[in-house]
Amino acid sequence: MPSILITTSRRTSNRVRSFVRDLWTVLPGTERFNRGGMSIAELSSRIKQSRASAAIVVSLFKGNPRSLQILSPDGGQLMEVRMEMAKLRREVTSSRSPKMRNIHSVSVQSGAGEQTRAIAEMLSKLLDTPIAESTAIVAVGSEGMNNVAVWLQDLPNGKTLWTHYHAKDGLEIGPRMRITSVTV
């Protein structure tokens, strides 16, 4: 039973499909599917049928991932995360790490701002993982095998960096997103 469904907007691109696959790979407890011509009402029915707590719909702009719309089971918007840039896993690392099996942590850089904390709180709720505050990602060794550490930090100009690390060795596995705004 998935906790989150991940899909795309109706008309999509290969890059957005790759981004969805990358998110599915690093977020345990998720299920991805092709939306096709499915309306929001049909998507809402799919969320309820699967007993997921939410859906992430990735929309695009000029062929690139542009925003993550997080929807509740009734189809209402919980949050919209607008991206300035998204790098795929293959653009972040050359190693092919396996699908992550567990969430090790949702970590926020110490002293992070309101936008960064809002994203962390939503992820913490959806992934049922407490938020950890840290100055950097810490590798935990073999106990972190196939565990992902979600990392959020403030960037200049009020932007947020959201990326993923392998908890075992602390190496970035992507995807990496630069967030410009969050609407709750």
In sequence order, which ranges of the chain are alpha helices (DSSP H)?
Answer: 14-26, 40-50, 89-92, 114-127
Looking at the DSSP bridge assignments, the partners of residue 153 are 161
What pTM does this model have? 0.93
pLDDT at 2: 65
The answer to whether the CB of 31 falls within 8 A of the CB of 2 is yes
Looking at the DSSP bridge assignments, the partners of residue 7 are 57
Which DSSP state fits 53? Answer: S
pLDDT at 59: 95
3-state secondary structure 4-33: EEEEECCCCCHHHHHHHHHHHHHCCCEEEC
pLDDT at 116: 97
Residue with tokens 């949050």: 79
Ordered by start, the domain boundaries in the chain are 4-81, 102-183
The answer to whether the CB of 165 falls within 8 A of the CB of 153 is no
Report CA 99 to chain centroid distance, whole Å.
14
Which fold is adopted by the domain 4-81?
Answer: Rossmann fold (3.40.50)
- Each of the 184 residues of the chain gets a pLDDT tens digit; together they read 568 999 998 888 999 999 999 999 999 989 998 888 888 889 889 889 999 999 999 999 999 999 999 999 888 999 999 999 999 999 998 887 788 999 999 999 999 999 999 999 999 999 999 999 999 888 888 888 999 999 999 998 999 999 999 999 999 998 999 999 999 8
pLDDT at 1: 53
Rounded to whole angstroms, what are the CA distances from 134 to 27, 39, 100, 113, 153?
20, 40, 22, 14, 10
